[in-house]
Amino acid sequence: MSATATAFKPKRTSHRPQQWSTITLLANVSSWAFECMAKISEFAQLPQNWDSYGSNPVTPDALRMARKFLSESPLALIPEPSVSPVSGGGLGFHWRVETRDLEIEFLPDGSVEYIKTVRTPEGSKSDEGIVDNFSDKKIWYWLAGELT
Amino acid sequence: MPEPIDAPDISDDDILWRRVDHNMIDTNPDGVESLQSWAYKDQNQEVSVYLARETTVEAVLSVGKPLQVIMGIRVQIVRNLGYKVVRDPEPDNGAHCVILPYPKKSADRKAMAEASTRIKASVE
C-alpha cells in the first residue's frame, strides 16, 4: 500500500485586506485568559431570567466585546479578573488589588464602561468612564499602584 | 402616578436583603469577600430587596435561582445615597421592597456593594 497525498490549489490567489485580523499565539496568552474565555462561553448559555429578576441573556455584542478585550488588552500586565454576568445582558470583569478596585462592564449594546475605586480609611472614592481603547496600559498601571 | 413613599416604618438601622448571583462575589487574598457593583443593577430599573426582619433567608432564596446568595445592607446606607426604600409587597412575601429611584450612577451602586455583607442561612 502506498501513501498518497493530494494538494488542492487555492481558488483565491489574492486576499482583500479587510479579511485579515490579528492572530495571538496561544503560547503568549495568560493562563487565566483561557479560564475567562470558558466562563464567558458558559455565561453565553444563560437563559432568560437567569438572575430571577427577569434579565435577558448575555447579548452577542457584550460577548463580542469581552472576547475582543481578551484579545487586544496587554494581558501580561493584567491580573486575573473575576467574571460575572450582569443584569440586562452584559458581562462584568472585576479586580481588587490592595486598596484599588476596578470593574469593567461590557454592556448589552457593546459599549464598555469602567469604574475604579480607591478605598481609604476615610471612605471610598470612585471614578467612572468609557473604555474605547483596550490596548491602553494606563488603567493597568493604576491598578498595580504605579499611577495615581 | 403617585410619588413613591420612603417607608416610615422602616428605620435606618433595618437591614435589607438582596438576592444576587454567586459570581458577583469575590474572595480577596485577605479572605474578605467583596460584592461587585452590578449586584445592584437591574434590567427593569427596579432594585428588588427584602426587609430582613419580616422574612427569612429560606423564603428569599426559594423564589430565586440555584447558587444565588443573599447580601445584606443597612437602610441608612441606601438613604444616605439619596434613595428611598419603598414597600412593594409580593403575594407570597410582604417584606418585599424596592430601592427608588433606580441607582443609575455606577458610583452609587458601587457604594451599596461596598457596604453589603453576605448573609448566611440560620440553618444550613
- A84 to B21: CB separation less than 8 angstroms, yes or no: yes
Q: In the sheet where B15-21 sits, what is the strand order?
A: B84-87, B96-100, B47-51, B15-21, B68-74, B117-119
**Closest approach of B6 to chain A, Cα-based (Å):** 22
* Side-chain half-sphere CA neighbours of A32 within 13 A: 11
What cell numbers appear for A60 in the block? 452577542
Q: How far apart are CA B91 and CA B65, in angstroms?
A: 19
Sequence letter at residue B59: A
**Which among B41, B105, B111 has CB closest to A86?**
B41
Identify the pLDDT of residue B123.
45
Asked if the C-beta of B65 comes within 8 angstroms of chain A's C-beta atoms, the answer is yes
CA angle B33, B35, B41 (to 5 degrees): 170
Q: Is the pLDDT of residue A75 over 70?
A: yes
What confidence category does residue A133 fall into, taking pLDDT thresholds of 50, 70 and 90?
Answer: very high
Identify the pLDDT of residue B124.
43
The proportion of chain A whose per-residue pLDDT surpasses 90, expressed as a percent, equals 69
**Which among A52, A82, A86 has CB closest to B19?**
A52
**Closest approach of A15 to chain B, Cα-based (Å):** 43
Q: Which CATH class is domain B15-118?
A: alpha beta
Asked if the C-beta of B93 comes within 8 angstroms of chain A's C-beta atoms, the answer is no
- Tell me, rounded to whole angstroms, the distance of Cα A123 from its chain centroid: 29
Identify the pLDDT of residue B80.
98
What residue has cell string 435606618?
A: B12
What cell numbers appear for B91 in the block? 403575594
What confidence category does residue A82 fall into, taking pLDDT thresholds of 50, 70 and 90?
Answer: very high
> In chain B, which residue's Cα lies nearest the Cα of A39?
B23
The proportion of chain A whose per-residue pLDDT surpasses 70, expressed as a percent, equals 80
- Rounded to 5 degrees, what are φ and ψ at A146? -95, -10
Q: Which of left, alpha, beta for A138 (phi over 0: left; psi -120 to 50: alpha)? A: alpha
Asked if the C-beta of B122 comes within 8 angstroms of chain A's C-beta atoms, the answer is no
Of the given ranges (A65-69, A115-119, B28-32), which has the lowest mean pLDDT? Answer: B28-32
Asked if the C-beta of B34 comes within 8 angstroms of chain A's C-beta atoms, the answer is yes
pLDDT digits (tens, 9 = 90+) for B53-78: 999 999 999 999 999 999 999 999 99
**Closest approach of B85 to chain A, Cα-based (Å):** 18
Q: Is the dihedral of CA A35, A37, A42, A46 positive or negative?
A: positive
* Side-chain half-sphere CA neighbours of B101 within 13 A: 4
Helix (H, G, I), strand (E, B) or coil at B98: strand
- A52 to B26: CB separation less than 8 angstroms, yes or no: no
Asked if residue A61 belongs to a domain, the reply is yes
CB < 8 Å & 24+ apart, contacts of A27-36? A29/A75, A30/A75, A30/A76, A30/A78, A30/A80, A32/A79, A32/A80, A32/A81, A33/A70, A33/A75, A35/A80, A36/A70, A36/A80, A36/A81, A36/A83, A36/A93
- A50 to B111: CB separation less than 8 angstroms, yes or no: no
Identify the pLDDT of residue B43.
95
What residue has cell string 490579528?
A: A22
Nearest one of A80, A122, A78 to A99, comparing CA atoms: A122
pLDDT digits (tens, 9 = 90+) for A22-52: 666 666 677 899 999 999 999 999 999 999 9
Nearest one of A45, A40, A100 to A69, comparing CA atoms: A40
Q: Which residues of chain B have pLDDT under 70?
A: 1, 121-124
- pTM of the prediction? 0.86
Across the range A123-145, mean pLDDT stands at 93
Give A106 or B123, the one with higher predicted confidence. Answer: A106
**Which residues lie closer than 8 Å to A133 by C-beta, 6 or more apart?**
none
Q: Is the pLDDT of residue A86 over 50?
A: yes
With 0-12 CB in 10 A as exposed, 13-18 as middle and 19+ as buried, what is A134? middle
The number of folded domains in chain A is 1
Range of the domain at A47: 30-143
**Residues of chain A neighbouring B108 (CB-CB closer than 8 A):** none
Asked if the C-beta of A86 comes within 8 angstroms of chain B's C-beta atoms, the answer is yes
